[in-house]
Amino acid sequence: MQNYDVIIIGAGAAGLFCASQAGQRGQKVLLLDHANRVGKKILMSGGGRCNFTNLHITYDDYYSSNPHFFKSALSQYTQWDFIKLVEDHGIAYHEKGRGELFCDNKASDIVQMLVAEVQKVAGEIRTHCEVQAIAQVEAGYSLKTSLGSFSCQSLVIATGGLSIPTMGATGFGYEVAKQFGHTVLPTKPALVPFVWDDRRKINKVLSGVSCDAEVSCNDHSYQEGLLFTHRGLSGPAILKASSHWDYGVPVEINYLPSLDLIEALKRARIEQPRKQLKNWLQSNLVNQLVEWLLAQLPDHLMTINMADLNNADIEAIDKTFCHWRWVPADTEGYRTAEVTMGGVDVTQVSSKTMESALLPNLYFIGEVLDVTGQLGGFNFQWAWSSAYAAAQAL
């Protein structure tokens, strides 16, 4: 039986960072993962460039059944702390969108940095390791694994959520939590594309079309890119809205968010009377989308001139182009979701240290907890911050 001060299960974003921080505090650390390599999700994140944090971290960008839980950790280790670490390692990065920071080169820069930090403090990393059983013992915890038996004073669960099973995601962390009496709240895929029902699926002509749109769901609105896929709708505005979606809930899309369409049509009716409505709309929105939306309106609007529009026509056009309502049949699920909402109930975990309130020296960090960030680097910041908070207590 090999003994460690700290064993961390899950060598993803949170586990790797926690290992380095605990090592810096003089702890003898073992980091275990069942996958063939560490940080797989980091490698595939941000389109291969890893959106590792956001300049504008706010509490409004996080969701949890306890909306105060994440505040302490996020303030103990901020985006500025992680940016400094990235800079200290000479990793070049750039800002995209609204404060989203990406590597200039590759996401592997971040994984290499995290591994180097673990090696610097002589932390041990073992991959291909199946954890078969965990037991609480007098001195802490003992683990039976495919690589032998280990014991530790403190055990950290950093096995993430259910998203992308092909990348090694499992419900292992939830099972450990339940084993030790913790409540696991229902989970659902988030930051995930929506899929059409069968009727709309046939509209293959729109696949690949993108535009700027305002997508609203359950009183939350996002104005960003929207993309038609061969299965449904994706793009940042949709992914963000998906975090607020549940079965049966409608999604409303404004395809012309920068226009007051009613006013603009009334003005154009006077100023451009001979122009066809379709042409006018196509100067504001991509052609295929105009055709598709017009086809959902009465036939005469497909060929009408601006001068012939009556107020009822204008209202109907506004309803279809700016208040297009749709109840998605489903999401693409954990197969493509960036994150898992729900998870280990945070009311049984210390918000300052991530330690279990039920058992001493048992910690949960990262996505396994019921804390979910919005798209834009917020989820990695939660991984870094929660890992740091736990490491300070180890």
Q: Which residues of this chain interact with ligand FAD, rule CB under 6 A?
A: 9-15, 32-35, 40-41, 44-46, 50-51, 131, 158-160, 163-164, 168-170, 172, 338-339, 366-368, 377-380, 383
Q: The tokens of 265 are what? A: 């049509």
Instruction: Compute the least distance from the CB of residue 331 to ligand FAD, in Å.
Output: 14
Strand 140-145 relative to strand 148-157, pairing? antiparallel
Beta carbon nearer to ligand FAD, 328 or 376: 376
Beta carbon nearer to ligand FAD, 27 or 45: 45
In the block, which residue shows the tokens 């700016």?
A: 322
Instruction: Compute the least distance from the CB of residue 160 to ligand FAD, in Å.
Output: 3
Beta carbon nearer to ligand FAD, 102 or 196: 102
Q: End-to-end CA distance of the chain: give it in Å, rounded.
A: 21
Instruction: Compute the least distance from the CB of residue 46 to ligand FAD, in Å.
Output: 3
Candidates 273, 251, 380, 226; CA nearest to 324 is: 251
Q: How many helices (H) and strands (E) does the chain have?
A: 13, 21
Beta carbon nearer to ligand FAD, 101 or 268: 101
Q: Could you tell me the maximum CA-CA distance found in the chain, to the nearest angstrom?
A: 85
Beta carbon nearer to ligand FAD, 280 or 364: 364
**Residue burial 333-358, b: 16+ Cβ < 10 Å; e: rest:** ebebbbbbbbbbbbebbbbebbbbee
Instruction: Compute the least distance from the CB of residue 223 to ligand FAD, in Å.
Output: 20
Beta carbon nearer to ligand FAD, 169 or 261: 169
Residue nearest to ligand FAD (CB): 12
CA atoms lying within 13 Å on the CB side of residue 350: 17
Instruction: Compute the least distance from the CB of residue 377 to ligand FAD, in Å.
Output: 5
Residues recorded for the chain:
394
Instruction: Compute the least distance from the CB of residue 122 to ligand FAD, in Å.
Output: 21
